[in-house]
Amino acid sequence: MKVFVTRTLPGKALDRLRERGLEVEVHEGLLLPREELLRKVEGAVGLIPTVEDRIDAEVMDQAPGLRVIACYSVGVDHVDLEAAQARGIRVTHTPGVLTEATADLTWALLLAVARRVVEGVDYARAGRWQAWHPELLLGLDLGGLTLGLVGMGRIGQAVAKRAEAFGMRVVYTSRTPKPLPYPYLPLEDLLATADIVSLHAPLTPETYRLMDRERLFAMKPGSILLNTARGGLVDTEALVEALQGHLFGAGLDVTDPEPLPQGHPLYALPNAVITPHMGSAGKRTRERMAEMAVENLLAVLEGREPPNPVG
């Protein structure tokens, strides 16, 4: 029985599949062209895709014996869940394991934007650092500012704990209020209140471009937008406009489109700090994600209930 893995994975988790006598095919390249995905998935009973891979009905139909799609991710918006259900294919994911790593990266982006770290590095490397000056690269002091969290799942709550350590006030919005020690606000009130808005909501048809032009300009003047969730939550063209005078800056680990093409206007803005979707990129975290994906896949193939099913 064949398992196709769409990228090399850190650690030794895939060895478990080989030990069970499964044929494991791993795509070695950085990019996986669509036509190659369609070709390599043929004959597979198990598939381990990443968020880069669009797994739709066409892919599933290339592998009539496919029994499980074990996503190497928390989000599953890259998988057509209705098509999988219609074909009796189980879909799993890797929740929980990347909470702290993603919260860390969210905080790294906040510090980088608020204290203009990337601008400072570029300034020094360009040979422009000739003297200290009281008004050089002035940024924002975080203590006493209000952090507004849009989405209050595991990652949102982990970010809130970091904010408390920095002496910040935390408010949040979500589909429903939660029993948490932070004030709940409707989204529009949060945008008008928060000095930093951090997105931690799933991407759904309802949340697509949640932060459109109207909402970006409803944020406080001089505030910061952070997105370590999904790029589709933000209207990218409107964000480019908002960063040219309305917002202090933005920290983005995800974008729409993703990746951003070379020459995109966001790259030209010094107050936009952009990282290549590396929120979970801690070595231990990524190895644990691989272990979870493999365990989910094996459970389905061996007739057990997977630990982390979707739906």
Q: What is the CA radius of gyration of the chain?
A: 21
* Residue 88 · residue 307 · CB < 8 Å: no
Catalytic residue among 27, 215, 277, 286: 277
C-alpha dihedral sign at 268, 156, 94, 64: negative
37-43: Cβ within 8 A, 24+ apart: 37/6, 38/62, 40/4, 41/4, 41/66, 43/2
Q: In a 10 Å sphere around its CB, with 0-12 CB exposed, 13-18 middle and 19+ buried, how is residue 209 labelled?
A: middle
Cis peptide before 257 (omega within 30 of 0): yes
277 is catalytic: yes
230 is catalytic: yes
Tell me the two tokens of residue 44: 């597979």
DSSP summary character for residue 202: P
Catalytic residue among 93, 215, 230, 286: 230
Write down the residue that tokens 């198990």 correspond to: 46
Catalytic residue among 52, 58, 258, 287: 258
Return all residues near 268 (Cβ < 8 A) that are at least 6 apart.
none
What are phi and psi for residue 285, nearest 5 degrees? Answer: -65, -45
Tell me the two tokens of residue 131: 């003297």
Neighbours of 93 (CB within 10 A): 22
27 is catalytic: no
Distance CA 70, CA 88 (A): 14
Write down the residue that tokens 């799993």 correspond to: 92
Residues known to be catalytic: 230, 258, 277
